[in-house]
Structure 1
Amino acid sequence: MMYPEVRLRRLRQDKKIRNLVCETRIHPDELVLPMFFDANISDTKYTDSMPGIPTHPLSGYDGIASGIQESGVSSVLVFGVPSHKDAVGSGAYERDGVVQKAIEGLKENSDLLVIADLCLCEYTDHGHCGLLDGCGCVKNDETIELYAKTAVSQAEAGADIIAPSGMMDGQVAAIRTALDDAGFKGVPIMAYSAKYQSAYYGPFRDIAESAPGQGDRAGYQMAWGNRKEAMREIEFDIAEGADMIMVKPAGPYLDIIRDAANTFDLPLAAYQVSGEFSMIKAAAANGWVDEERIMKESLVGIKRAGADIIITYFAEDMARML
């Protein structure tokens, strides 16, 4: 029997050889850890649907940050649960709001790069991402005015990057203008450009207490089946001044990540969201999958698809392994 001269298995036979020729690698600097702070608690708490993910009180920043940095993670994405909610989400843009305090605490007690998520859903009593009209629909232009106020308050608190996630038309332009006018021309915007109306957000809405009271977010977040629209959303955000772009969720939308990586030359983030994380955790807890291996495989898949930055609740675990 004649064998081919080219044998691809030659480069797979030994771990050192496999490492030598590995095409896709993840570095801890590329990982971002989402963090939650709650203005209503004095001790760390945990949410059943997000195993092992803490919600922190507005204290103990040095200990919180040192644990993260010791893992090798250097960037965090901050979310908050406010002391009160109202129809206009005022807790999002208050000078002493929960995220503003958390940003200040982290910046004063660590060298972490702090990204501020910007939306109103955690702060409104109806759970939607902006102001509602009489029919229960989110008002776009009035909402982005509040996004602009929120961005400035987050920058004043010390945020290194502003990350608007509300999917309002024109939000990046409004935020860029507000930041520039307030003297924060050097603060970048990481735009949640292609954010899908996903069922994978469920556990996040538990921990952040941000589920809509009525209806859903299909009127402003993207439909699952759309690829071309995602590219248009990204294109508009770039034109409006985005410095980084994002696809969310990550795992079910690897094709969108690849399309974005092939089309645009801005740094590209992908958010492995709460549902992706919790499904792996649940399957591992039942002995159905090897948690460490499937975590690595899922994150390498996101990187291989084209992501430069991976936002994941596995950030600390993955960084330690690296």
Structure 2
Amino acid sequence: MDHPPMTLHDGEAVTGSSPVRARPAVRRFLHREPLTPADLCMPLLVRRGETLSPVPTVTLDQVGPAVRELARLGVGAVKIFAEGERTDSGGDAASASAPLIHAIQAAKDAAPDLAVMTETCLCSYTSSRACVLTDDHGRYDHRATLDVLGAQALHQAEVGADILGPAAMVDGLTGHVRSVLDAGGFRDVALMPHLIMTSRMYDGCRAAMNAAPRGNRGAFQVHPSRPEQAVAVARRMVEEGADMILLEPALHTIDLLSRLGADGQVNVPLVPFCVSGEWAQLTHSGTRAAADYLPDLIERLAMYKRSGAAAVITYNTREAAQHLVRLPRPR
């Protein structure tokens, strides 16, 4: 039996097979926010001074005000990177007075309830900008690398960091940092190691933080043609104590997000990182007006959430959050 098309109050015909969208009360009942400010994390690239940069950066004095604004918008977290002051054999990577430590303190002082993520890595602290230390013959020194990164992680936890991000992707790093934290009384500090695909999408951030490698960093990353390696690395990270896993670049790891999460490969939250190259593409390197790219941005962030992301790290967090807090519910 044929049924005449239903109409909305304004006379628009409903031609779909379901009448659900014709009832405002039902649409409101079924509505689920695909994305909220609490789902977002803002990377803060902390520089010693204000300089021209290919991506947004802040000085140490600007960390507090920036974090307070993000907290006011309901943003869930910030992820802090900071430029090292010395770059000789690890420089001040393991120093309790390194710029990163001061930045963490500033963020926690400004908004104690906002989650603070860190980068546990050496690329801003070595003369070669490598993520690892080498011996006198230029060979990778595994033990020394673990020791420095463990000490760095402990200092980050001592000043209030909530989630540490082992990013060097060296064997055993997650487990080593976990053991150092546990021994230091920080069993409640979470670990989110980075699962990094080799890509040129990081170039903007590396240039801004003076961390562009003088050599091939691919040996400590996963080649885009090796998804099976990425799965194996993720499983090993979980076995070593990872509480969650960061995937980067977000745009190039969307298949891994679905594969690792929906397929049950790992049972921890997955957090894609929309890296500097994605920011540059979306904003035309900061020259495009936010009103022009906001629809694309929100759709992209919602897609990551829909694909299984527990949260999303993006340089566009502030604009997205400002938009979302004003977004009306469906009528």
Alpha-carbon distance in structure 2 between the residues aligned to 1:230 and 1:24: 31
SS at match of 2:92: helix
Alpha-carbon distance in structure 2 between the residues aligned to 1:76 and 1:149: 22
Of the three residues 292, 305, 308, the one matched with 2:294 is 292
The offset of 1:127, in angstroms, is 0.7
The offset of 1:290, in angstroms, is 3.6
The offset of 1:155, in angstroms, is 0.8
* CA RMSD of superposed structures (Å): 2.8
Alpha-carbon distance in structure 1 between the residues aligned to 2:27 and 2:316: 24
The offset of 1:137, in angstroms, is 5.1
For structure 2, list consecutive stretches of 5 or more residues without a partner in the other structure.
6-14, 325-331
Q: Does structure 2 conserve the Cα–Cα contact (< 8 Å) formed by 1:27 and 1:319?
A: yes
The offset of 1:296, in angstroms, is 1.1
**TM value normalised by structure 1:** 0.87
SS at match of 2:127: coil
> CA offsets per residue over residues 203-254 of structure 1, 9 Å max, x none?
11111110012x2211111101111111111111111011111211111221
> CA offsets per residue over residues 9-51 of structure 1, 9 Å max, x none?
866789998776567701211111000112x32xx4451x22x
**TM value normalised by structure 2:** 0.85
Alpha-carbon distance in structure 1 between the residues aligned to 2:163 and 2:299: 28
Alpha-carbon distance in structure 1 between the residues aligned to 2:281 and 2:24: 30
Cross-structure match for 2:220: 220
Q: Does structure 2 conserve the Cα–Cα contact (< 8 Å) formed by 1:72 and 1:316?
A: no
Q: Does structure 1 conserve the Cα–Cα contact (< 8 Å) formed by 2:192 and 2:246?
A: yes
Change (3 A) 1:137 1:30: farther
> CA offsets per residue over residues 105-150 of structure 1, 9 Å max, x none?
2212323221111100011111110112466553333312211111
Q: Does structure 1 conserve the Cα–Cα contact (< 8 Å) formed by 2:153 and 2:164?
A: yes
Of the three residues 308, 311, 314, the one matched with 1:309 is 311
Q: Describe how 1:65-84 pairs up with structure 2 within 5 A.
A: 65-84=67-86
Q: Describe how 1:235-314 pairs up with structure 2 within 5 A.
A: 235-262=235-262, 263=264, 264-282=266-284, 285=287, 290-314=292-316
Alpha-carbon distance in structure 2 between the residues aligned to 1:237 and 1:92: 23
* AA matched with 1:261: G
Instruction: Determine if the alignment matches structure 1 residue 156 to structure 2 residue 165.
Output: no
The offset of 1:7, in angstroms, is 3.1
Alpha-carbon distance in structure 1 between the residues aligned to 2:128 and 2:206: 13
Alpha-carbon distance in structure 2 between the residues aligned to 1:196 and 1:188: 22
SS at match of 1:64: helix
Alpha-carbon distance in structure 2 between the residues aligned to 1:13 and 1:278: 41
Which is higher, the Rg of structure 1 or of structure 2? 2
For structure 1, list consecutive stretches of 5 or more residues without a partner in the other structure.
none
* AA matched with 1:209: N
Cross-structure match for 1:206: 207
Identity %: 27
Instruction: Determine if the alignment matches structure 1 residue 197 to structure 2 residue 182.
Output: no
Q: Does structure 2 conserve the Cα–Cα contact (< 8 Å) formed by 1:71 and 1:317?
A: no
* AA matched with 2:109: E
Q: Does structure 2 conserve the Cα–Cα contact (< 8 Å) formed by 1:284 and 1:291?
A: no
Alpha-carbon distance in structure 2 between the residues aligned to 1:122 and 1:170: 21
Q: Does structure 1 conserve the Cα–Cα contact (< 8 Å) formed by 2:280 and 2:286?
A: no
